[in-house]
Each structure stands twice: as C-alpha cells, then as structure tokens.
Amino acid sequence: MKNYFKLLIFPALLISAKVSAQKSQILIARNAVGKLQASISNKEDEKKQLIIITEGLKSTESAEQDNKTKNWAETWSIKSYLTSYAALIDTDAANSNKFYDLAVEAAKKAKGLDKYDDNSGLIKASDHNILIKKQERGNSSFFNNEFKDAYSDLKEVSDNFPLDSTLALNTAICALNIQNYTEALNYFKRAKENGIHNPAVFQKLAQMYISKFDNENAIKTLEDGLAINPYHRFLTNDYINLLLDTEKFDTASTLIENNLKVEKGNKLLYFLYGYLQQANGNNSTAMLSFDKALATDQNYFDALYQLSIAYINSANEVLVKNEADKAVKYIALINRAQFALQRANDINPNDKKTVQLLIDIYSHKNQTDKVLDLQKKLQEF
C-alpha cells in the first residue's frame, strides 16, 4: 500500500516542481525589469542595459513555452517592455527593428490578456517606447521622401501626442504628399491650434480651405497668421488677394494702406492699391499708385497694363466733360496709354489683351500699317 501511495504522490511532485520553475522564470523577468529601471535611473551604459534586457528575455522566452505562463498577461507585458526599450537603445539598426517588431507583437498580446489592468503600468511604458521608436522610423521615412510609410507612423504618434505642433505639421506634409487632402487639412489645423507660428502653415491651410470653397475659414486662418506674423509679405499678399476675390474691397484697401506705411517699396501692394482705386473709379489715384509700382520695377507688366487702362478710362471721362481743351487732354491721355501698352507689349509680346488694345488705339489714329501688323500677329497666337 505504501508503494502505491508513492506512485500517486511522485507525479504530483513533478508537476509542482515544473510550475515552480516557470514561476521562477517570471520572477527572474520581473527582477530584470527592476534592474533595468534602476540602470536607467542611474544613467548607466546602454550596453549594460542590453545585457540586463537579454537576461530578462531569456526568462520570458522560457515562460512563453509553458502552457500556463504563456497565457499570463505579465509574461507578455514584461517582454513588450524589455523589447521596446531595447529597440530604442540598440545602435544596430537590424537588431533595433527586430526588437521593435517583437515589442509590438508582445504589447498586443499583453493587452488582450490583461483583463483587469494588472499590468497597465508596464503596458503603458511599452506603448510609450513603441511610439518613440515609431516616430524615429517616421522621421527617417519623411527625410527619405517615403511619405506613405512616414504618414502611417507619424499619424499614430501625432494622435497620441496631439499637442505636439511640429509632429502634426510633419504628418500634414506627409498626407499632402500622398494626396490625402482631408487628413492633411486636419493635421494642419492641429498644428495651428497648438501654437505653431510658421507662416507657411497658415498659407497652406488657407489654400486648402479655398480649394473647398470655404472662404470664411480661409480668411480667418490668414488673419490668425498675420496676428502672429504681422506684415508678413506672403501672408499679406494672400490675404489681400482673397479679400479681392470675395469682394471685400474696403477691408482690402485699408489693409493695403496700413501695410504701405511699413513696406513702402512693395510693388505688389502699390499695384493692388491702384487696382482697387481703379475699380472704384479713382483713375488719377490709381495712376499714381501704378507709377509707384513701376518706380520699383519698370518692367512690371501688370502695372503697365492697368496703367494703360487707367489712362484710357480717364480719356473717356474727358470726352463727356464740357471743356474747351478736352480734345487736347484726350489725345494726351491716349498717347500715354499707347506708350504704356507698347512697353507692356515689349515685355510680354504674346499677351492678346495688350495687342488688342494697341490695335484699337492705332485704328482710332488711322495708323493702318500698325493695325495690320498687330492683326497678323494675333492670328499667329
């Protein structure tokens, strides 16, 4: 009978020893986590930290082989923490990527098994390390113009660190390059909302709103950009052009006047101010503004063309006035228009509107040869 009981007890002792051995592997792995955290706090050499990680992973690998401990969330939580940190400190790219892949897989298993959040601290730390490595990968892809891969990585990191404006900006640029315009808009907005100052961001965001026919948000975006970057030339130009496109002429005129006090040599501002004055029928003021633009750049085609229009409009106004010398004034203004058009035509000989206006003037003056030459030129366009 004694021998019989010994046979029953002996297998039980083997099972108990096996479970104890697997538990001891988890204890070793736990100890490795503690040693690693102490090593990190003491800012010890990363090679030493990798040795600690290697020892800990040997234990988790043993635990993975056991039918019981392989289903413990702690097994995978420890593995994900150790491998995720190794991915950050291993200077060998291949090893680092291998550790990263192992960390992602282990973290996924840990989350699936950790029903009561017993290992939430390790899992959270692992996720943080994984995101840092993901950002490194994303940045590398970004600078290698591999925007699809970069977007995939940086998007996830940005979503976890939404207050990082630079990260949001880089994600937006990636989305833009892969033509995912909806996401590009979202991440440009995130960058803006979290305090980025780069005027190019406000420009691009406004352009994207305009492409969606959302002029209200485009105007607001440019105003916000100018509040941070006052008198920035490109933001100002975009803002003025948008005001003109949306027929907010009074606001545009006031803005230009204020900016001209700061940028007195800005030919575009002078041109736009002249254009607004011309649209309001103030041809004499428009001429002065176009002349100031041309004083900055004598080959400014747009200013020459609009100056000729202002002279023609003024000449037509003279005709309706009851003045004795109106014929003389009319001819003088038409001659100035002709001169401006000739200069414009020299700069851009293929502009049809310029050629047509010259034909009209030469026809009025009965200069048939010049009319025929220009008409022939028009047919060649």
pLDDT band at 236 (very low <50, low <70, confident <90, very high): very high
The 10s digit of each residue's pLDDT in 170-228 is: 999 999 999 999 999 999 999 999 999 999 999 999 999 999 999 999 999 999 999 99
The 10s digit of each residue's pLDDT in 8-32 is: 333 443 334 444 555 688 999 999 9
Q: What is the DSSP letter of 92?
A: S
Note the pLDDT of residue 20.
Answer: 53
CA 227 – CA 198 distance, rounded (Å): 12
The 10s digit of each residue's pLDDT in 155-169 is: 999 999 999 999 999
Residue whose entry in the numeric block shows the structure tokens 């105003």: 223
Of residues 326 and 75, more confidence is placed in: 75
359 Cβ contact list (under 8 Å, min separation 6): 371, 374, 375, 378
| 8 A C-beta contact, residue 70 and residue 64 | yes
| 8 A C-beta contact, residue 86 and residue 52 | no
Note the pLDDT of residue 379.
Answer: 84
Mean pLDDT of the chain: 91
Tell whether the model's pLDDT for residue 288 goes beyond 80. Answer: yes
pLDDT band at 324 (very low <50, low <70, confident <90, very high): confident
The 10s digit of each residue's pLDDT in 301-319 is: 999 999 999 999 999 999 8
The amino acid at residue 296 is T
pLDDT band at 79 (very low <50, low <70, confident <90, very high): very high
Domain ranges across the chain: 22-141, 292-381
Q: What is the DSSP letter of 69?
A: G
CA 21 – CA 27 distance, rounded (Å): 10
Note the pLDDT of residue 22.
Answer: 57
Tell whether the model's pLDDT for residue 5 goes beyond 60. Answer: no
